[in-house]
Amino acid sequence: MSNIARHVAIIMDGNGRWATERGLKRVKGHERGAETVRTVTTFASNHPEIEVLTLYAFSTENWRRPKMEVDFLMRLLDNYLKNETETYIRHQIRFETIGDLSRFSPALQRRIAAVKEETKGFRRLTQVLALNYGSQDEIARAARDLCRSGEEITLERLGRRIESARFGPVDILIRTGGDQRLSNFLLWQSAYAELFFTPTLWPDFDPDELETIIAEFKTRTRRFGGI
């Protein structure tokens, strides 16, 4: 039976380098990267297999970047959600998030909640943005919840408590930009994901390359720990 690319997750790396290589400010790379998010998400919404697209947008470690860049990323996210609501509606895309949103401004939290509410009935694709997200933090929070409830910690119970578990296991995990590491992204859900690392910087990533990756995914043997 052919592999099915139901859940695709992407570490979107390379925006800053893309801009630097062109003599531009790093923020220009982030702006171009947001356009790629729109293109790839729209493609995924029309793909016959993809049901969930999870994108690593802002990690718990990204707060260490210069304040000016972080502030710009917050404004970019707000503008993206404001401008892309029409795209979500047109392509019947449900918008969701994983991560701790409490550190974001109240206005941005309201924007996120509003887009979730407006798109909650759509089923063609679920786009999940990982925002202020770190997988180790996510697993630790799930373990703390189990301890507070007095339940014994088991793999099954912990798995149910992990926030990203509701979107199912990752089938394909892609990292753009050339680095070959997971950077604390979906560690639990990617236990048996097929990994793909591409040197393409995120702003240059396109549906054709995603299709090529899916085609290679189809040729791989997934044993899930078996023979």
CATH number of the CATH domain containing 193: 3.40.1180.10
> 224 lies in a domain?
no
> 187 lies in a domain?
yes
pLDDT of 8 higher than 70: yes
User: In 3D, which of 188, 172, 225 has the Cα closest to residue 47?
Assistant: 172
> 109 lies in a domain?
yes
Range of 28's domain? 7-133+169-219
pLDDT in tens, 142-189: 999 999 988 888 889 988 899 999 999 999 999 999 999 999 999 999
The H or E element containing residue 45 is: helix 26-45
pLDDT at 226: 60
pLDDT in tens, 127-147: 999 999 999 999 999 999 999
Which of the 8 DSSP states describes residue 16? Answer: H
> 208 lies in a domain?
yes
pLDDT in tens, 31-71: 999 999 999 999 999 999 999 999 999 998 889 889 999 99
Give CA–CA dist 15/98, Å, rounded: 21
- What's the total number of domains in the chain? 1
CA dist 202 → 9, 101, 136, 194 (Å): 13, 24, 24, 19
pLDDT of 227 higher than 80: no
pLDDT at 225: 66
Structure tokens at 216: 């290679």
pLDDT at 221: 85
pTM of this prediction? 0.93
Q: To the nearest whole number, what is the mean pLDDT of the chain?
A: 94
Please compute the mean of the pLDDT values over residues 19-38 and round it to a whole number: 95
pLDDT category of residue 223 using cuts at 50, 70 and 90: confident
CA angle 219, 214, 53 (to 5 degrees): 140
Side by side, the strands of the sheet bearing 93-98 are 93-98, 125-133, 52-59, 7-11, 172-175, 194-197
> 162 lies in a domain?
no
> 141 lies in a domain?
no
pLDDT in tens, 82-123: 999 999 999 999 999 999 999 999 999 999 999 999 999 999
pLDDT at 151: 85
> 181 lies in a domain?
yes
> 140 lies in a domain?
no
Catalytic residues: 13, 62
